[in-house]
């Protein structure tokens, strides 16, 4: 058996954090993958990780049997994980159920509901004395109309387990409601639209204590992003941030939900001096938000995150203070890429410190209505959020992607 820590890592798709962990030589890994998510794995990534033991959970077999098969595999390879990390939002329920059955650190079923089910989450916020949007679980458009008429338009309609704004809609009036399709197979909710400025906050938690917090500004709200607004997040290592006790607010949630360790990501609003908590997740933030914090504060954010999942106090000695954001490059339609602005051209622009393209000429791409839909991303640095946003808009003015239709018109996922 290895003397190094052995981690069971939920591998949902090629996240930057996962790529960091698989390159580490001081921890042994077993990857946990779900057959139902196979389409998310590019063949190139499977080749890149082929040297690591991976356990695929079949979706047509009882989970107890899969856990027994997992124990057989880890005994056979002499690598028994004692630590567990799930960076994936959609895998929360099954991943933590698997970890519980396997005898690994995990969230309880109630904790998973608090950090995954947005209606239960907001109910818990209220129990903790925190302000949040009025909301209601609904099953019909008539219930949405009733809520909108009593609370005022617009309202937001979403599945209780949505993420990345998938199937999330801003509904302005009765006519908008009539265009909704509330699939009965999912649980839906409606909530009041909150004004003011929306912010993000990330934190690392160890032994139930918030170690530090990193706020982010958003040039545009997620619901505007899916309709074509600038898609970016800016980590505020310098300059002005929200006038909120973020460490205290985050600790209140961590304590109230009994969260022991992990990476926490949350969204909140400041409206005329009033703070309203939006949502919270105990997993890595989406897009390249964690990397923003590393660039902004001058530390290895992924190493620090791995540390808390291994029960170790991370090194949070910051070597710089600046603002750095991730600008997601537009992917406006589905089809075949004929031309795309190259990484070298992007890197030559003011403030751009990193540029990554997910697609190149000849690739067939699919545009989707989700907040992380993109052709790639650029990390942009500056002394203030305003300077970063200005430089991001210059990048958008320069960036070009030419896509031609392939076959019948592609249907973008809602």
Same domain, 182 and 248: no
> What is the domain range of residue 12?
6-106
Query: Could you tell me if 41 and 152 lie in one domain?
Result: no
- pTM beyond cutoff 0.85: yes
pLDDT digits (tens, 9 = 90+) for 223-252: 888 888 999 999 999 988 999 999 999 999
Smallest Cα–Cα separation from 353: which of 298, 286, 287, 284? 298
Residue 334 carries which DSSP code? -
pLDDT above 70: residue 300: yes
pLDDT score, position 227: 84
Could you tell me if 306 and 324 lie in one domain? yes
Helix (H) / strand (E) containing 76? helix 63-77
Contacts of 369 (CB under 8 A, 6+ apart): 165, 166, 226, 412, 413, 414
Same domain, 169 and 215: no
pLDDT digits (tens, 9 = 90+) for 128-162: 999 999 999 999 999 999 999 999 999 999 999 98
Residue 184, domain CATH: 3.30.1490.20
- Give a yes or no: residue 412 inside a domain: no
Would you place residue 40 in the very low, low, confident or very high pLDDT band (cuts 50, 70, 90)?
A: confident
Q: Say if residue 221 is in the same domain as residue 363.
A: yes
In a domain? residue 176 = yes
Phi then psi for residue 95, to 5 deg, are -65, -45
Same domain assignment for residues 173 and 219: no
């Amino acid at each position: 058996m290895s003397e190094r820590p052995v981690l069971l890592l939920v591998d949902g798709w090629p996240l930057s954090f996962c790529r960091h962990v698989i390159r580490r030589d001081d921890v042994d890994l077993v990857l946990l993958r779900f057959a139902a998510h196979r389409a998310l794995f590019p063949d190139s990534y499977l080749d890149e990780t082929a040297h690591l033991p991976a356990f695929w959970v079949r979706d047509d077999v009882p989970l107890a049997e899969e856990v027994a098969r997992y124990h057989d595999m880890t005994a056979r390879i002499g690598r028994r994980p004692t630590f567990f990390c799930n960076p994936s939002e959609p895998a929360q329920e099954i991943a933590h159920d698997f970890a519980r059955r396997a005898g690994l650190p995990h969230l309880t079923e109630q904790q998973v509901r608090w950090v995954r089910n947005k209606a239960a989450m907001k109910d818990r916020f209220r129990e903790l004395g925190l302000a949040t949007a009025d909301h209601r679980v609904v099953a019909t458009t008539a219930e949405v109309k009733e809520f909108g008429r009593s609370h005022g338009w617009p309202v937001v309609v979403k599945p209780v387990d949505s993420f990345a704004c998938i199937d999330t809609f801003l509904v302005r009036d009765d006519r908008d409601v009539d265009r909704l399709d509330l699939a009965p197979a999912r649980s839906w909710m409606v909530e009041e639209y909150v004004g003011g400025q929306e912010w993000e906050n990330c934190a690392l938690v160890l032994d139930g204590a918030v170690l530090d917090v990193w706020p982010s500004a958003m040039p545009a709200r997620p619901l505007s992003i899916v309709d074509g607004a600038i898609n970016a997040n800016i980590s505020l290592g310098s300059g002005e941030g929200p006038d909120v006790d973020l460490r205290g607010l985050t600790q209140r949630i961590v304590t109230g939900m009994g969260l022991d360790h992990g990476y926490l990501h949350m969204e909140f609003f400041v409206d005329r001096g009033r703070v309203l908590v939006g949502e919270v997740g105990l997993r890595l933030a989406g897009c390249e938000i964690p990397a923003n914090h590393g660039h902004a504060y001058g530390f290895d954010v992924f190493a620090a995150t791995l540390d808390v999942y291994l029960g170790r106090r991370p090194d949070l000695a910051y070597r710089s203070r600046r603002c750095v954001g991730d600008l997601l490059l537009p992917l406006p339609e589905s089809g075949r890429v004929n031309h795309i602005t190259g990484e070298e051209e992007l890197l030559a622009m003011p403030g751009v410190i990193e540029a990554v393209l997910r697609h190149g000429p000849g690739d067939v791409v699919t545009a989707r209505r989700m907040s992380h839909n993109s052709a790639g991303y650029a990390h942009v640095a500056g002394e203030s959020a305003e300077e970063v946003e200005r430089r991001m808009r210059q990048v958008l003015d320069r960036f070009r992607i030419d896509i031609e239709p392939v076959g019948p018109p592609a249907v973008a996922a809602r």
